[in-house]
Amino acid sequence: MFDVVTGGAGFIGSHLVDTLVAQGNEVLVIDSLCSGRRETIARHIDSCKGRFVQKDLLGDGWQDSIRGADRLFHLAADPDVRQSAVNPDPTMQNNIMATYRVLEAMRQHGVPELVFTSTSTVYGDAAVIPTPESYTPLEPISVYGASKLACEALISAYCHSFGMKAWTFRFANIIGSRSGHGVITDFILKLRKDPAELEILGDGKQTKSYLEVHECVAAMLFAVGKARGTVNTFNIGSEDWIDVKSIAEIVAEEMHLTGTRFRFTGGDRGWVGDVPKMQLSIDRLKALRWKPQTGSRESVRIAVRDMLAEQQHGVS
């Protein structure tokens, strides 16, 4: 099996590469290293179990390398929801245009299958929680969410027009080692600077589903092996949720801090485009006989421990 992973030196992508290599697949990583780190996949490259092309998907010089691939995992994206409300252009370019270029390269070189990582933010402020994949209307409230929904539409059109197959995964909050952004990273950095006080965006009551990254990768590959429709869409997340204040408490506890004061910025949203409550229905995955082994609270604690260990000892 020849797999291509765009964004394969990034957070989720590098964990996916680990698993694909362990399965004995031939793996090609395409990554600009804008946010990814070569050291996360260096052992696979050094052992010749994986190949690496450092290219930006918005440029050229990578397209021919995917010729002959059986499946392409498209994880490369601009993942910053907050920044998409400040400067939308990088999100438009790195999400929508990059996905279009990937689809065109697949069409031209005959790559038959695509796995795409989308997001729970395509649902916007959903009125139904847990939110199923069939929920409508899809009204994103962030530029990031809108860009991912546009990518889903492009993928569907290409699959039906050019005989491809696709698996689209709408993620809850995926957390764990090698992550470079998100609430846990934010809290750890702030507490290292000032252990006495932690600023928490919003009122701390934002409540969402979290899942540890290894569970996420397992769910993706399980669904790809079971569902064989033209376009297969799945939510991936835990079956419960946790509020931001509780996450702050876990981070402080795992950093062995006592007496840390929490200072809330106020309001029910941490930033423009933030969704105060989010939990995804995973009934579609469960119908295939997959369910997560960890809940949100346990996923957070595992992720905090792994991220603190990673900072202490280097890339894991």
Q: Which residues are catalytic?
A: 144
Written as six digits, the tokens of 203 are 């009122």
Reduced to 3 states, what is the DSSP secondary structure of residue 271?
coil
Q: Assess contact for 168 and 234: CB atoms under 8 A.
A: yes
Written as six digits, the tokens of 88 are 């939308």
Helix (H) or strand (E) holding 210: strand 210-212
Please list, in sequence order, all residues whose beta carbon lies within 8 angstroms of the beta carbon of residue 8, skipping any fewer than 6 positions away.
14, 16, 17, 27, 29, 30, 31, 36, 41, 52, 73, 75
- Give the span between the Cα atoms of 46 and 287, in whole angstroms: 40
Reduced to 3 states, what is the DSSP secondary structure of residue 246?
helix
Q: SS in 3 state form for 50-115?
A: EEEECCCCCCCCCHHHHCCCCEEEECCCCCCHHHHCCCCHHHHHHHHHHHHHHHHHHHHHCCCEEE
Angle, CA of 316, 174 and 47, to the nearest 5°: 30
Q: Assess contact for 7 and 27: CB atoms under 8 A.
A: no
Torsion sign over Cα 88, 90, 95, 100: positive
Angle, CA of 276, 187 and 33, to the nearest 5°: 95
Radius of gyration of the chain, Cα coordinates, nearest whole angstrom: 19
Pick from 115, 100, 94: which is nearest to 157 by CA? 100
